[in-house]
Amino acid sequence: MTAPRAHLLLQGRSRLRDRSPAAVMLSRLLVVAAYVGTVALANYTSTSSPAVILGPLIIPAGTLWAGMTFTLRDLLHETLGPSGVTVVVAAGAGLSWLLASPQIAVASVVAFAVSEALDSALYAMLRPSSRIRAVLASNLAGLVVDSLLFVPLAFGSFAAAPGQVVGKAVATLLTLAVLWGVRRSSFWAVPR
């Protein structure tokens, strides 16, 4: 991709009409790849890497990757619409079965199904008034529910739930900060 074409990915809404169908498709594919990649990394690292202990917090290794999925899911909602989100989330769940241990995969699918449904519903409800408020509120609700379901199913105890909530919240804020930095990006404004 040439520099001017790459620059189109960072243009605001006013430039969106000037984008080619190929550039719009590339934007969508990048968001899908980012989401599916973070789901894969979250499940793989939860299975293959030890938890991080920070004082009283036990943070499962995949937590930061999992926390990124909530904001990326909202971005999918913007770029693909609700039906597209469902397909991509299902693909991420399927990938969990391939990359994670059975216990992690089951916990991931159950937690994602419930938390993503809640996240999506809250995002859709709050989105008309404020995109940032919608992302923050839906992600907070989703990550708490996800953690409260995932941790006991995956690890047999609630001990890591507080660390997972904190880790996912940090990841959500970091992801949101990056997206805020490119807030006029076409990623937030791709037509459906």
Within-domain flag for 2? no
Does residue 7 lie within any of the structural domains?
no
Average pLDDT estimate for 27-46: 89
**Residue 137 Rama label (left phi>0; alpha psi -120 to 50; beta):** alpha
Could you list the residue range(s) of the whole structural domain that residue 163 is in? 14-188
Share of residues in the chain with pLDDT > 90 (%): 26
What is the pLDDT at residue 185? 52
Q: What is the pTM of this model?
A: 0.76
| pLDDT tens figures, 93-137 | 888 778 778 888 899 889 888 988 898 889 889 989 988 888 889
Residues 79, 87 contacting (CB under 8 angstroms) = no
Residue 155 covered by a domain? yes
The answer, yes or no, to whether residue 14 has pLDDT greater than 70, is: no
- Continuous segment of H or E residues that includes residue 37: helix 21-48
How does strand 57-59 pair with strand 52-54? Answer: antiparallel
Residue type, 174: L
Report the CATH number that the domain containing residue 164 is assigned in CATH: 1.10.1760
The answer to the question of residue 69 being in a domain is yes
Q: Round to the nearest angstrom and report the end-to-end CA distance of the chain.
A: 23
- Residue 181: inside a domain, yes or no? yes
Domain count, the chain: 1
pLDDT of residue 112: 82
C-alpha distances (whole Å) from 12 to each of 45, 80, 123 are 35, 18, 22
